[in-house]
């Protein structure tokens, strides 16, 4: 998402915020984009993956912030930003995309062996 008050016609990197923790985008922070400018950062995605893989997530009553669909998948609701939800499918898609991105050393799990 864009920082409140940011000019959509001239967006700086620091105007781009994660929808789930509201941190600013920096060069060493990987991001995944969803629909309508929604964004999840690598830190939040890792948290969501950990919970998803641990089997602790349940279906959300909210619509996924990233794909704008309401699915029956387990979903992660941000504990920091009210109303931000990512469904299991978007968590998996985002994790796959980030782990393939050679610009970042992002891994779904610190303990996973490949
Ligand atoms: Zn985040
Ligand atoms: Zn989704």
Domain spans, the chain: 13-100
pLDDT at 112: 53
| d(CA 60, ligand 1 centre) in Å | 19
pLDDT of res. 90 = 97
In SS3 terms, 5-72 reads as CCCCCCCCHHHEECCCCCCECCCCCCEEECHHHCEEEHHHHHHHHHHHHCCCCEECCCCCCCCCCCCC
CA of 64 to the centre of ligand 2 (A): 5
> Which ligand approaches the C-alpha of residue 76 most closely?
2
Ligand 1: distance of its center to the CA of 106 in Å?
14
| Rounded Cα gap, residues 60 and 24, in angstroms | 26
Distances in Å between the alpha carbon of 94 and those of 6, 45, 61, 91, 105?
26, 7, 21, 5, 14
Q: How far does the centroid of ligand 1 lie from the alpha carbon of residue 22, in Å?
A: 6
Q: What is the mean pLDDT of each run of 10 residues along the chain (114 residues)?
A: 93 96 96 96 97 96 96 95 97 97 90 55
CA 48 – CA 15 distance, rounded (Å): 24
Q: What local confidence, expressed as pLDDT, does residue 110 receive? A: 75
Contact status, residue 80 vs residue 20, Cβ threshold 8 Å: yes
């Amino acid at each position: 998402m864009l920082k409140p008050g940011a000019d959509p016609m001239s967006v700086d990197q620091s105007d781009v915020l994660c929808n789930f923790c509201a941190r600013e985008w920096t060069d060493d922070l990987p991001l995944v984009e969803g629909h309508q400018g929604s964004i999840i950062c690598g830190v939040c995605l890792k948290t969501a993956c950990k919970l998803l893989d641990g089997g602790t997530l349940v279906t959300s009553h909210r619509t996924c912030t990233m794909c704008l669909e309401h699915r029956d998948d387990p979903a992660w609701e941000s504990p920091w930003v009210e109303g931000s939800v990512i469904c299991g499918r978007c968590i998996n898609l985002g994790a796959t995309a980030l782990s393939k991105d050679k610009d970042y050393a992002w891994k779904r799990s610190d303990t996973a062996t490949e």
